[in-house]
Amino acid sequence: MAWYDVDYSCGHSDRIQCYGPTRGRQAQADAEGRKLCPECYREQRDKRNAEQSAKDADAAKVAQLPTLSGSDKQVAWAETIRARMLNDLAPYAAKAAVYRSQLPAVAEQIGASATDKRLDDVAAWLTGRIAHVRSQASAKWWIDHRYDDLTQDIHAGLMTQVKTLFAVEIETAKARKAEAEARKAQAENDAHAAARAEQQSDNDRSESAAFHFRPLRVDRDGENLTIYGDGNHLAKGYCADGDWVIYEIDDLTVNSLLPNATALAARVRKLCVGHALAS
């Protein structure tokens, strides 16, 4: 820590303390000298705030906003807060009429009538809520709400109004959606059940065909088998690595995992061996 004489940019001088490494203290003093002295800075700040408050007050009169009540300091601060918050809210407030024009589309989505008086009630609530905010005349109210997001609050309130006024339609829409989803799920289940039933039917037919097929002659071409059965029935299969598979009977695909298909393969193998066709 060391003391340095500083000549401020406003012409005033003072003696200040600088901290940190010795080599950086002079730089601190030089930087401080490029500023206004503390007293001139406060005067300039207060003057700027007063001018801004005056502008905000004039703007409030033009906007026909109520005169704020409170101490001079509170009013000056609240004028600035109100101007900022209403400026943020202005675009949303301007959309009130636009929103009213869009309500029929909203109504159609929830199954309400586009001419329903409740649509006007929603728009009226929006206009009234904005008017309520603008009507606040207490400086304390604006100071207490200086961190509020009025746009978000009003939007949330608007959604609550819509849900309240159109509760029946909204619940009906939800029920219809749930019913449609249930129908879709049931249709999918039915389709799966039908597919399973069809597969089971094919398996049953394959099992029956394999059970009743009586091989009479087998022609073998390498691994491929052509099996002629009684009653002009025809089957196809193959053999590889000692495994015999029948995969088709009279153009009917045979599930090789079925017991009767396995039994048929065994009969074909026996027939092949009996005619010296097996390798």
Closest by Cα among 89, 99, 122, 119 to 107: 119
Predicted TM-score (pTM) of the model is: 0.37
CA distances from 244 to 20, 174, 220, 250 (A): 93, 58, 12, 18
Contact (CB, 8 A) for 165 and 122? yes
By CB atoms closer than 10 A (0-12, 13-18, 19+), residue 42 is exposed
For residue 245, the cross-strand partners are: 238
How far apart (Å, rounded) are the C-alpha atoms in residues 20 and 269? 100
Q: Is 177 exposed, middle or buried (0-12, 13-18, 19+ CB in 10 A)?
A: exposed
Angle, helices 167-212 vs 96-110, to 10°: value is 40
**pLDDT score of 53:** 64
pLDDT, residue 140, reads: 94
What are the tens digits of pLDDT across the range 73-120? 898 888 888 888 888 777 666 655 566 666 666 666 666 665 667 777
What pLDDT shows up at residue 62? 46
DSSP-based three-state secondary structure for 4: strand
Contacts of 18 (CB under 8 A, 6+ apart): 1, 2, 3, 4, 25, 26, 28, 29
Q: Which two tokens stand for residue 66?
A: 């109520």
Which pair of structure tokens corresponds to residue 209? 């065909």
Say if CB 164 and CB 110 are below 8 A apart. Answer: no
How far apart, in Å, do the first and last CA atoms of the chain sit? 105
Distance CA 243, CA 256 (A): 11
DSSP state of 239: E
Q: Which residues of the chain have pLDDT under 70?
A: 1, 49-64, 91-116, 169-170, 274-279
Chain-centre distance for alpha carbon 168? 25
